[in-house]
Chains A and B, each alone.
Chain A
Amino acid sequence: MILGKIFALLLFSTGEAPGSPLDVNPGLIIWTLVTVALLLVILKKIAWKPILNSLNERENLIRESLEKAEKARVEAEELFEQNKENLKKSEAEAQKIIEQGRQYADKLREQILEDSKQQSRRMIEEATQEIERKNAEAFSKLKDQVADIAVSAAEKILRENLDKEKQMKIITKYLEDLSKN
């Protein structure tokens, strides 16, 4: 307003021609002031505040959503990595368990084999001993039997060949020999 008056003074000191575009109408200044001030107040209340607020809200919402999505992506990636690692770990573990089982089985097999070998050897030994013992037993039995048979045979022979004449002859001869000496 003040400036408008300054303009008016500056511009029209040279003499006003009626109907110049540089005419300043003080009424128009006041109306402009009133209009713009009212417009400012009304628009600020009904438009700028709600619009700017919702713009900010929306921008925040978008930013937050993007951040959330990014976070979720990172988390998913981490989870995926973790899963992969876990899988790898469990696979390795399974491999280890299988390996251990195989080793144990091998050991067990060897041990069983060894045991059975030993057992069979022992059994063979025992059997040999038994055979030997039986052999010896049989031999001694045989010996006894043979001796018995021999004695009984000798008895029979002796019983059959023992007669008087022969005996006498042997004795006389023996006596003769003795007397000669």
Chain B
Amino acid sequence: MWYNTSAVTDSLKAAESGGNDSGWIMHHILDSRELDFEPFGVIHLPEIHLFGIDLSITKHVVFMWLAALLLILIFWKVSKAYRKSKVPHGISNMMEVLVVFVRDEIARPTIGNGYERFLPYLLTVFFFILTCNFLGLVPYAATATSNIAVTATLATMSFLVIQIGGMIKNGFFGYFKGLIPHGIPFWLIPIMFVVEILGLFTKPFALAIRLFANMTAGHIVILALLGLIFILKTYIVVPVSVSFALFIYLLEILVALIQAYIFTMLSSLFIGMAYHQEH
């Protein structure tokens, strides 16, 4: 219930200003230029402007880097352990379960032959999203995956992997030819072509929105439940709010796992569909 400390101060500020302002919820969800460690202080992040683009380091960038750093450290350790002995133990064992899960339950069944080529991307995306999701559940941390720019970029990468994978396997023109299902009347072909091309874009769009919405919603619900205490200005709702917030928090652990799985699973599925078009 780390939200409490900062949520309390924010809510008090909102109450002082006298408005029924919900801005403090957004303050926790949105990206910002500073790392909040209330009541200990605030770290201001550097602003960078290059080629007319705002490349400032924001809160979500920091936590993405933290996730990446964690992953690199963990897997550096794991692969070092593998070099020592073939029998895994400790953290290697746990990571191996996840790696084998992505390989045997996600990549192999959905892509089939030639799945090895896409395994590094799928594993990276899976672990990156998983770590970002979990970091969002850590006190004072932020969820990078609840930012639509991040999820859209991830989805765009999946989109590129899907298209390039399909084109490598089937050839540039063969890939677009394969998009149209066999055995349809020829006058339907232009319409089907447009529909299928649209479909290519809606898939990653759905990927981005799904991850973003899921990761944002849980946090908003937790904050709203805690905010109820300050909106109603009574201690009576505290047990209800806290227990419900705790429940949502536990649910969020599940959601963090499920969303990482779904993003990877669907990316893998779409790669499989583009890679083996005959199915």
In the complex, whether A48 has a CB less than 8 A from a CB of chain B is yes
Q: How large is the interface on A (under 10, 10 to 19, 20 to 34, 35 or more residues)?
A: 35 or more
Contact code string A35-77 (vs B, CB < 8 Å = 1, else 0): 1101110111011111110110110010000000000000000
Known contacts A1-B153, A46-B75, A51-B82, A19 near B55 by CB under 8 Å: no
Binds A, one of B95-103, B233-241, B246-254, B269-277: B95-103
* Contact among A1, A19, A49, A58 with B86 in the assembled complex (CB-CB below 8 Å): A58
If A25-B31, A28-B60 touch, whether A3 touches B124 (CB-CB below 8 Å) is no
> A44 to chain B: which residues have CB within 8 Å?
120, 124
Q: Is the interface of A mostly helix, strand, loop or mixed?
A: helix
Shortest CB-to-CB span from B256 to chain A, Å, is 18
Q: Are B156 and A4 in contact (CB under 8 A)?
A: yes
| B216 nearest CB neighbor, chain A only | A21
A27 touching B54 in the complex, CB below 8 Å, given contacts A21-B216, A35-B65: yes
Question: Please, which residues of chain A bring their CB within 8 A of the CB of B125?
Answer: 36
Inter-chain contact A25/B159, CB cutoff 8 Å = no
A30, A51, A61: most-surrounded residue (chain B CB, <10 A)? A51
Nearest to B23 among chain A residues (CB) is A19
- Knowing A25-B54, A35-B64, the reply to whether A51 touches B99 (Cβ < 8 A) is yes
Cα of A33 to Cα of B64 in the assembled complex, Å: 11
Interface hits, A8-41 → B, CB 8 Å? 19, 21-33, 35-36, 38-40
Chain A residues with CB below 8 A from B86, complex form? 54, 57-58, 61
Bound Cα distance A26, B147 (Å): 12
Closest B residue to A47 using CB positions = B75
Inter-chain contact B30/A4, CB cutoff 8 Å: no
Interface size class of B (residues with CB under 8 A): 35 or more
What is the minimal beta-carbon distance from A26 to any residue of chain B, in angstroms?
6
Minimum CB–CB distance from A10 to chain B (whole Å) comes to: 9
Task: Decide: B26 and A39 in contact? CB cutoff 8 A.
Answer: no
- Output the nearest chain B residue to A42 by Cβ-Cβ distance: B72
Measured between beta carbons, the chain A residues less than 8 angstroms from B164 are none
Given A25-B58, A32-B150, A43-B123, residue A52 in contact with residue B103 (CB < 8 A): yes
The residue of chain A having its C-beta at the shortest distance from the C-beta of B29 within the complex is A21
Asked if B137 is an interface residue, CB under 8 A from chain A, the answer is: no
B130 at the interface (CB under 8 A from A): no
- Which residues from 78 to 117 on chain B have a C-beta closer than 8 Å to any C-beta of chain A? 78-79, 82-83, 86, 95-96, 99-100, 103, 116
B201 within 8 A of A: yes
Say if the beta carbon of B263 comes within 8 Å of chain A: no
Among the interface residues A4, A19, A24, A27, which one has the most CB atoms of the partner chain B within 10 A?
Answer: A27
The complex places the Cα of A1 from the Cα of B56 at a distance, in Å, of 17
Q: Which residues of A contact B159 (CB under 8 A)?
A: 3
Q: Which of A2, A19, A32, A39 contacts B149 (CB 8 A)?
A: A32
Residues on A close to B: CB < 8 A?
Answer: 1-4, 7, 19, 21-33, 35-36, 38-40, 42-44, 46-52, 54-55, 57-58, 61
A to B CB contacts below 8 Å, 22 in the list: A3-B205, A4-B149, A21-B146, A21-B147, A23-B149, A24-B148, A25-B31, A25-B54, A25-B147, A28-B61, A28-B149, A39-B124, A39-B128, A43-B120, A43-B127, A44-B124, A46-B79, A47-B78, A49-B120, A51-B96, A52-B103, A55-B96
Q: What 5 A-B pairs are tightest by C-beta distance, nearest first?
A: A47-B75, A32-B153, A4-B152, A28-B149, A50-B79
12 more contacts with CB within 8 A, not counting A32-B64, A35-B65, are A3-B152, A21-B146, A24-B148, A28-B31, A32-B144, A35-B64, A36-B128, A39-B68, A43-B120, A43-B124, A47-B78, A51-B82
